[in-house]
Amino acid sequence: MKLVRFAVPVLAGVAIFGATTAFAASLNVTSTGLAAGNATVASCNSSAAITYNTLYSSTQPGYKVTTAPITSAATCSGKAFRATLTGAGNASLGEVTGTLDTTGAFAADFSASNVNAALVTGASVVISG
């Protein structure tokens, strides 16, 4: 009787694990989509860069971020981007999305976000598409 109490949960676990593994193995992955699995994803650029410009604002008071120029390779032309300014604890202070121009560049406009430049500890850009 003790063997049956032990064997039933073990066999059930093996069956569930097998079904889950079979399901995961059936997912499709392509170079333009990301899901569970493996696929080679081509990069349009080996490195992209983002900086930010500031302007004095008497309403803050202090300097606020105006634009964040993004540079990348021309092969990234027409791809979507998300530029994010971060502060303490990697908290997002502002985010701008858009599409890179024909040279693979863009000047993300953060003027409306009123991001205090003194609080910015990082800037990042994600290019996708």
**Residue 24 confidence (pLDDT) above 50:** no
Q: pLDDT higher for 78 or 129?
A: 78
At residue 19 the predicted structure's pLDDT band, cuts being 50, 70 and 90, is very low
Q: What pLDDT score does 87 carry?
A: 95
Query: What average pLDDT score do residues 52-81 get?
Result: 93
Q: Which positions ≥6 away from 37 have C-beta within 8 Å?
A: 24, 27, 28, 29
Count of C-beta atoms within a 10 Å radius of residue 81? 22
